[in-house]
Protein backbone atom coordinates (compact mmCIF):
# COMPACT_ATOMS: atom_id res chain seq x y z
CA UNK A 1 0.00 0.00 0.00
CA UNK A 2 1.21 3.51 -0.88
CA UNK A 3 0.15 6.90 0.48
CA UNK A 4 0.69 10.26 -1.22
CA UNK A 5 -0.78 13.74 -1.05
CA UNK A 6 -2.31 15.46 -4.08
CA UNK A 7 -2.87 19.11 -3.16
CA UNK A 8 -5.20 18.92 -0.14
CA UNK A 9 -6.47 15.40 -0.84
CA UNK A 10 -5.02 12.26 0.74
CA UNK A 11 -4.54 9.39 -1.70
CA UNK A 12 -4.07 5.73 -0.84
CA UNK A 13 -3.02 3.26 -3.55
CA UNK A 14 -3.70 -0.42 -2.99
CA UNK A 15 -4.85 -3.71 -4.45
CA UNK A 16 -7.70 -5.61 -2.78
CA UNK A 17 -6.75 -9.27 -2.89
CA UNK A 18 -6.06 -10.16 0.76
CA UNK A 19 -7.68 -9.32 4.08
CA UNK A 20 -4.48 -7.49 5.00
CA UNK A 21 -5.14 -5.08 2.09
CA UNK A 22 -8.51 -4.19 3.61
CA UNK A 23 -7.03 -3.74 7.08
CA UNK A 24 -4.19 -1.51 5.81
CA UNK A 25 -6.51 0.74 3.80
CA UNK A 26 -9.05 1.09 6.60
CA UNK A 27 -6.24 2.02 8.98
CA UNK A 28 -4.93 4.63 6.53
CA UNK A 29 -8.29 6.40 6.19
CA UNK A 30 -8.70 8.91 9.03
CA UNK A 31 -11.60 8.38 11.41
CA UNK A 32 -12.94 11.85 10.55
CA UNK A 33 -12.94 11.25 6.77
CA UNK A 34 -16.32 12.27 5.36
CA UNK A 35 -16.00 10.98 1.81
CA UNK A 36 -14.00 8.23 0.07
CA UNK A 37 -13.62 7.56 -3.65
CA UNK A 38 -12.44 4.18 -4.90
CA UNK A 39 -11.17 4.48 -8.47
CA UNK A 40 -9.70 1.82 -10.78
CA UNK A 41 -10.15 -0.73 -7.99
CA UNK A 42 -11.42 -3.94 -9.59
CA UNK A 43 -14.26 -5.56 -7.63
CA UNK A 44 -13.18 -8.35 -5.30
CA UNK A 45 -14.76 -9.76 -2.13
CA UNK A 46 -12.10 -7.91 -0.13
CA UNK A 47 -13.02 -4.61 -1.77
CA UNK A 48 -16.70 -5.23 -1.05
CA UNK A 49 -15.84 -5.82 2.62
CA UNK A 50 -13.80 -2.61 2.69
CA UNK A 51 -16.64 -0.58 1.20
CA UNK A 52 -19.12 -2.07 3.67
CA UNK A 53 -16.85 -1.24 6.61
CA UNK A 54 -16.58 2.41 5.53
CA UNK A 55 -20.32 2.73 5.01
CA UNK A 56 -20.69 1.34 8.51
CA UNK A 57 -18.54 4.22 9.76
CA UNK A 58 -20.97 6.68 8.20
CA UNK A 59 -18.61 7.60 5.34
CA UNK A 60 -20.02 8.68 1.97
CA UNK A 61 -18.44 6.16 -0.41
CA UNK A 62 -18.16 6.38 -4.21
CA UNK A 63 -16.66 3.90 -6.67
CA UNK A 64 -15.63 4.43 -10.31
CA UNK A 65 -14.11 1.50 -12.15
CA UNK A 66 -13.77 0.01 -15.64
CA UNK A 67 -13.36 -3.71 -14.89
CA UNK A 68 -16.97 -4.84 -15.39
CA UNK A 69 -17.10 -8.39 -16.67
CA UNK A 70 -13.47 -9.13 -15.85
CA UNK A 71 -12.32 -11.78 -13.43
CA UNK A 72 -14.32 -14.55 -11.81
CA UNK A 73 -16.06 -12.67 -9.00
CA UNK A 74 -18.96 -10.78 -10.61
CA UNK A 75 -20.87 -11.22 -7.36
CA UNK A 76 -18.42 -8.77 -5.74
CA UNK A 77 -19.37 -6.03 -8.21
CA UNK A 78 -23.05 -6.77 -7.60
CA UNK A 79 -22.52 -6.57 -3.84
CA UNK A 80 -20.77 -3.21 -4.12
CA UNK A 81 -23.54 -1.82 -6.33
CA UNK A 82 -26.13 -3.05 -3.85
CA UNK A 83 -24.32 -1.26 -1.03
CA UNK A 84 -23.61 2.01 -2.86
CA UNK A 85 -26.51 2.30 -5.27
CA UNK A 86 -26.01 5.27 -7.58
CA UNK A 87 -22.63 6.06 -6.00
CA UNK A 88 -21.14 3.04 -7.79
CA UNK A 89 -20.31 3.29 -11.46
CA UNK A 90 -18.71 0.14 -12.86
CA UNK A 91 -18.26 0.06 -16.63
CA UNK A 92 -16.24 -1.91 -19.19
CA UNK A 93 -12.89 -0.91 -20.67
CA UNK A 94 -14.70 -0.37 -23.96
CA UNK A 95 -16.78 2.34 -22.27
CA UNK A 96 -13.78 3.90 -20.48
CA UNK A 97 -10.31 2.80 -21.58
CA UNK A 98 -8.83 4.85 -18.73
CA UNK A 99 -10.44 5.53 -15.37
CA UNK A 100 -9.68 9.25 -15.62
CA UNK A 101 -12.67 9.34 -17.95
CA UNK A 102 -14.93 8.33 -15.05
CA UNK A 103 -14.23 11.35 -12.85
CA UNK A 104 -14.59 15.09 -13.29
CA UNK A 105 -11.73 17.51 -12.63
CA UNK A 106 -11.53 18.31 -8.88
CA UNK A 107 -14.65 16.20 -8.23
CA UNK A 108 -13.09 14.64 -5.15
CA UNK A 109 -10.72 17.37 -4.03
CA UNK A 110 -10.27 18.82 -0.59
CA UNK A 111 -9.83 18.00 3.05
CA UNK A 112 -12.10 15.35 4.50
CA UNK A 113 -11.96 13.37 1.26
CA UNK A 114 -9.72 10.35 0.66
CA UNK A 115 -9.11 8.78 -2.74
CA UNK A 116 -8.25 5.08 -2.89
CA UNK A 117 -6.82 4.04 -6.27
CA UNK A 118 -5.10 1.11 -7.89
CA UNK A 119 -1.30 1.49 -7.52
CA UNK A 120 -0.65 1.71 -11.25
CA UNK A 121 -0.35 4.65 -13.69
CA UNK A 122 -4.06 4.59 -14.63
CA UNK A 123 -5.05 4.67 -10.98
CA UNK A 124 -2.70 7.56 -10.28
CA UNK A 125 -3.88 9.61 -13.28
CA UNK A 126 -7.51 9.14 -12.28
CA UNK A 127 -6.72 10.16 -8.70
CA UNK A 128 -4.83 13.23 -9.93
CA UNK A 129 -7.73 14.43 -12.05
CA UNK A 130 -10.26 13.78 -9.28
CA UNK A 131 -8.07 15.68 -6.79
CA UNK A 132 -7.62 18.68 -9.08
CA UNK A 133 -4.28 18.07 -10.84
CA UNK A 134 -4.32 17.58 -14.60
CA UNK A 135 -2.48 18.38 -17.81
CA UNK A 136 -3.57 18.45 -21.48
CA UNK A 137 -3.91 14.88 -22.71
CA UNK A 138 -4.15 13.21 -19.29
CA UNK A 139 -7.28 11.22 -20.21
CA UNK A 140 -5.70 9.96 -23.43
CA UNK A 141 -2.52 9.02 -21.55
CA UNK A 142 -4.59 7.08 -19.00
CA UNK A 143 -6.07 4.93 -21.74
CA UNK A 144 -2.63 4.16 -23.17
CA UNK A 145 -0.81 3.42 -19.90
CA UNK A 146 -3.53 0.96 -18.88
CA UNK A 147 -3.12 -0.99 -22.11
CA UNK A 148 -0.33 -3.15 -23.56
CA UNK A 149 3.19 -1.92 -22.95
CA UNK A 150 3.93 -2.26 -26.66
CA UNK A 151 1.53 0.63 -27.33
CA UNK A 152 3.20 3.04 -24.89
CA UNK A 153 5.22 4.90 -27.50
CA UNK A 154 6.24 8.53 -28.20
CA UNK A 155 3.52 8.62 -30.84
CA UNK A 156 0.73 7.55 -28.49
CA UNK A 157 1.64 9.48 -25.31
CA UNK A 158 2.07 13.11 -24.33
CA UNK A 159 5.49 14.27 -23.15
CA UNK A 160 4.20 13.88 -19.57
CA UNK A 161 2.97 10.35 -20.19
CA UNK A 162 6.15 9.29 -21.94
CA UNK A 163 8.31 10.61 -19.10
CA UNK A 164 6.11 8.78 -16.61
CA UNK A 165 6.27 5.40 -18.37
CA UNK A 166 10.01 5.61 -18.91
CA UNK A 167 10.66 6.63 -15.32
CA UNK A 168 8.60 3.62 -14.22
CA UNK A 169 11.33 1.46 -15.73
CA UNK A 170 13.67 2.65 -12.97
CA UNK A 171 11.60 1.11 -10.18
CA UNK A 172 13.26 -1.80 -8.35
CA UNK A 173 11.56 -5.20 -8.61
CA UNK A 174 9.34 -6.15 -5.69
CA UNK A 175 11.17 -8.23 -3.09
CA UNK A 176 8.80 -9.87 -0.57
CA UNK A 177 11.64 -9.97 1.96
CA UNK A 178 11.99 -6.16 1.76
CA UNK A 179 8.70 -4.80 0.34
CA UNK A 180 9.41 -1.35 1.74
CA UNK A 181 12.20 -0.78 -0.83
CA UNK A 182 9.90 -1.04 -3.87
CA UNK A 183 7.06 0.75 -2.07
CA UNK A 184 9.27 3.70 -1.12
CA UNK A 185 10.61 4.04 -4.68
CA UNK A 186 7.14 3.91 -6.22
CA UNK A 187 5.76 6.40 -3.70
CA UNK A 188 8.56 8.83 -4.53
CA UNK A 189 8.07 8.42 -8.29
CA UNK A 190 4.28 8.90 -8.08
CA UNK A 191 4.72 11.94 -5.84
CA UNK A 192 7.27 13.42 -8.23
CA UNK A 193 4.97 12.93 -11.20
CA UNK A 194 2.21 14.86 -9.43
CA UNK A 195 4.75 17.65 -8.80
CA UNK A 196 5.84 17.59 -12.46
CA UNK A 197 2.23 18.09 -13.52
CA UNK A 198 2.14 21.08 -11.18
CA UNK A 199 5.24 22.57 -12.80
CA UNK A 200 7.94 21.58 -10.30
CA UNK A 201 11.27 21.67 -12.20
CA UNK A 202 13.26 19.80 -9.54
CA UNK A 203 10.82 16.91 -9.65
CA UNK A 204 11.07 16.85 -13.44
CA UNK A 205 14.86 16.63 -13.26
CA UNK A 206 14.55 13.73 -10.81
CA UNK A 207 12.17 11.89 -13.13
CA UNK A 208 14.35 12.55 -16.16
CA UNK A 209 17.28 11.02 -14.29
CA UNK A 210 15.18 7.98 -13.47
CA UNK A 211 14.15 7.73 -17.10
CA UNK A 212 17.79 7.40 -18.16
CA UNK A 213 17.51 3.77 -17.10
CA UNK A 214 15.19 3.35 -20.07
CA UNK A 215 18.02 3.35 -22.62
CA UNK A 216 19.93 0.69 -20.70
CA UNK A 217 16.75 -1.34 -20.38
CA UNK A 218 16.20 -1.24 -24.16
CA UNK A 219 19.59 -2.88 -24.75
CA UNK A 220 18.88 -5.62 -22.21
CA UNK A 221 15.44 -6.23 -23.73
CA UNK A 222 16.99 -6.73 -27.16
CA UNK A 223 19.40 -9.29 -25.68
CA UNK A 224 16.45 -11.15 -24.14
CA UNK A 225 14.62 -11.13 -27.46
CA UNK A 226 17.52 -12.98 -29.05
CA UNK A 227 16.74 -15.94 -26.75
CA UNK A 228 13.01 -16.20 -27.57
CA UNK A 229 11.58 -19.64 -28.37
CA UNK A 230 8.19 -21.06 -29.35
CA UNK A 231 6.71 -23.43 -26.76
CA UNK A 232 3.77 -24.08 -29.10
CA UNK A 233 2.97 -22.79 -32.59
CA UNK A 234 2.42 -19.03 -32.27
CA UNK A 235 3.29 -18.98 -28.55
CA UNK A 236 6.48 -16.94 -28.09
CA UNK A 237 8.29 -17.28 -24.77
CA UNK A 238 11.30 -15.64 -23.12
CA UNK A 239 12.97 -16.31 -19.77
CA UNK A 240 14.10 -13.07 -18.11
CA UNK A 241 15.35 -14.63 -14.89
CA UNK A 242 19.03 -14.47 -15.83
CA UNK A 243 18.90 -10.91 -17.13
CA UNK A 244 18.96 -7.55 -15.40
CA UNK A 245 16.47 -4.71 -15.60
CA UNK A 246 14.96 -4.40 -19.06
CA UNK A 247 12.43 -2.27 -20.91
CA UNK A 248 9.21 -4.23 -21.03
CA UNK A 249 7.77 -2.25 -23.94
CA UNK A 250 10.74 -3.09 -26.16
CA UNK A 251 10.56 -6.71 -25.10
CA UNK A 252 6.83 -7.19 -25.65
CA UNK A 253 6.85 -5.24 -28.90
CA UNK A 254 9.60 -7.47 -30.26
CA UNK A 255 7.74 -10.62 -29.22
CA UNK A 256 4.47 -9.35 -30.69
CA UNK A 257 6.18 -8.76 -34.03
CA UNK A 258 7.27 -12.38 -34.36
CA UNK A 259 5.48 -13.86 -37.42
CA UNK A 260 2.35 -15.76 -36.43
CA UNK A 261 2.48 -14.73 -32.77
CA UNK A 262 -0.78 -15.38 -30.90
CA UNK A 263 0.43 -15.23 -27.30
CA UNK A 264 3.57 -13.98 -25.56
CA UNK A 265 4.88 -15.60 -22.39
CA UNK A 266 7.42 -14.03 -20.03
CA UNK A 267 8.99 -16.19 -17.33
CA UNK A 268 10.19 -13.77 -14.66
CA UNK A 269 11.41 -13.60 -11.05
CA UNK A 270 9.10 -10.75 -10.02
CA UNK A 271 5.37 -10.25 -9.55
CA UNK A 272 2.82 -11.11 -6.87
CA UNK A 273 2.72 -14.79 -7.82
CA UNK A 274 6.52 -14.99 -7.92
CA UNK A 275 6.56 -13.64 -4.38
CA UNK A 276 4.03 -16.22 -3.24
CA UNK A 277 5.08 -19.31 -5.19
CA UNK A 278 8.79 -20.02 -5.26
CA UNK A 279 10.13 -16.91 -6.95
CA UNK A 280 8.85 -17.47 -10.50
CA UNK A 281 5.83 -16.04 -12.33
CA UNK A 282 4.62 -16.67 -15.89
CA UNK A 283 2.91 -13.68 -17.50
CA UNK A 284 0.97 -14.23 -20.72
CA UNK A 285 -0.45 -11.60 -23.07
CA UNK A 286 -2.38 -11.45 -26.32
CA UNK A 287 -0.84 -9.02 -28.85
CA UNK A 288 -3.05 -6.03 -29.69
CA UNK A 289 -3.59 -7.31 -33.24
CA UNK A 290 -5.10 -10.55 -31.88
CA UNK A 291 -7.23 -9.25 -29.04
CA UNK A 292 -10.47 -9.28 -31.03
CA UNK A 293 -9.84 -12.90 -31.98
CA UNK A 294 -8.72 -14.44 -28.69
CA UNK A 295 -9.82 -14.12 -25.07
CA UNK A 296 -6.92 -15.48 -23.04
CA UNK A 297 -9.29 -16.57 -20.28
CA UNK A 298 -10.57 -19.27 -22.64
CA UNK A 299 -7.33 -21.15 -21.91
CA UNK A 300 -8.48 -21.73 -18.34
CA UNK A 301 -10.61 -24.90 -18.11
CA UNK A 302 -14.10 -24.39 -16.72
CA UNK A 303 -14.19 -24.88 -12.97
CA UNK A 304 -10.50 -24.05 -12.44
CA UNK A 305 -9.90 -22.09 -9.26
CA UNK A 306 -8.69 -18.55 -9.94
CA UNK A 307 -7.04 -16.11 -7.54
CA UNK A 308 -3.85 -15.45 -5.60
CA UNK A 309 -4.18 -18.56 -3.47
CA UNK A 310 -4.71 -20.70 -6.56
CA UNK A 311 -1.69 -19.25 -8.33
CA UNK A 312 -3.70 -17.98 -11.27
CA UNK A 313 -4.74 -14.40 -12.09
CA UNK A 314 -6.92 -13.99 -15.18
CA UNK A 315 -8.87 -10.76 -14.76
CA UNK A 316 -8.74 -9.42 -18.30
CA UNK A 317 -9.23 -10.75 -21.81
CA UNK A 318 -5.63 -10.12 -22.83
CA UNK A 319 -3.51 -10.81 -19.71
CA UNK A 320 -2.95 -13.90 -17.54
CA UNK A 321 -0.44 -14.59 -14.79
CA UNK A 322 0.30 -17.93 -13.15
CA UNK A 323 2.66 -19.86 -10.91
CA UNK A 324 5.03 -22.55 -12.16
CA UNK A 325 2.69 -25.34 -11.04
CA UNK A 326 -0.28 -23.82 -12.87
CA UNK A 327 1.85 -23.13 -15.94
CA UNK A 328 3.12 -26.69 -16.16
CA UNK A 329 -0.08 -28.41 -15.12
CA UNK A 330 -2.80 -26.30 -16.76
CA UNK A 331 -1.76 -23.42 -19.00
CA UNK A 332 1.06 -24.96 -21.08
CA UNK A 333 -0.97 -28.10 -21.89
CA UNK A 334 -3.92 -25.87 -22.83
CA UNK A 335 -1.70 -23.77 -25.12
CA UNK A 336 -0.33 -26.85 -26.87
CA UNK A 337 -3.79 -28.33 -27.28
CA UNK A 338 -5.16 -25.07 -28.67
CA UNK A 339 -2.33 -24.06 -31.01
CA UNK A 340 -1.06 -27.45 -32.15
CA UNK A 341 -4.37 -28.41 -33.70
The percentage of the chain sitting over the pLDDT mark of 70, rounded to a whole number, equals: 99
Highest mean pLDDT (candidates 57-66, 141-150, 238-247):
57-66
pLDDT value at position 341? 64
Q: Which pLDDT belongs to residue 173? A: 73
Residue 210: predicted pLDDT? 87
**More confident call, 168 vs 26:** 26
- Residue 185: the pLDDT is 94
pLDDT at 271 over 80: yes
Is this structure's pTM higher than 0.85? no
What would the pLDDT profile of 159-195 be if each residue is shown by its tens digit?
A: 999 999 989 988 887 777 688 999 999 999 999 999 9
**72 — pLDDT class (breaks 50, 70, 90):** low
Instruction: Give pLDDT tens digits for 134-167.
Output: 999 999 999 999 987 778 899 999 999 999 998 9
Question: Sorting pLDDT into bands at 50, 70 and 90, what band is 215?
Answer: confident
Q: What is the pLDDT of residues 83-132, one digit of tens each?
A: 999 999 999 999 999 999 999 999 999 999 999 999 999 999 999 999 99
Task: Give residue 249's pLDDT.
Answer: 83
3-state secondary structure string, the chain?
CEEEEECCEEEEECCCCCHHHHHHHHHHCCCCCCEEEEECCCCCHHHHHHHHHHHHCCCEEEEEECCCCCCCCHHHHHHHHHHHHHHEEECCCCCCCCHHHHCCCCCCCCCCEEEEECCCHHHHHHHHHHHCCCCCCHHHHHHHHCCCHHHCCCCCCCHHHHHHHHHHCCCCCCCCCCHHHHHHHHHHHHHHHHHHHCCCHHHHHHHHHHHCHHHHHHHHHHHHHCCCEEEECCEEEEECCCCCCCCHHHHHHHHHCCCCCCEEEEEECCCHHHHHCCCCEEEEECCHHHCCCCCHHHHCCCCCCCECCCCEECCCCCEEEECHHHHHHHHHHHHHHHHCC
Q: What was the pLDDT predicted at 172?
A: 82
- The average confidence (pLDDT) of the chain is 94
Amino acid sequence: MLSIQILSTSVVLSKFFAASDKDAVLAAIPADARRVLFVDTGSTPVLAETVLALVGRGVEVHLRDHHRGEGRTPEAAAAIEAILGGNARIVTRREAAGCALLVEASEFAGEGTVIVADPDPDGLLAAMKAAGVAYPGLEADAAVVDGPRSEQTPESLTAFGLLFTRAMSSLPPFNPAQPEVAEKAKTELFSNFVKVALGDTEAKVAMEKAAEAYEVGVKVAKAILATATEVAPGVVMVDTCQFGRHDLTTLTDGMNRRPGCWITVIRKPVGPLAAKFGGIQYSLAVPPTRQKELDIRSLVPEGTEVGMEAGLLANTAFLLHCSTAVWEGIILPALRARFSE
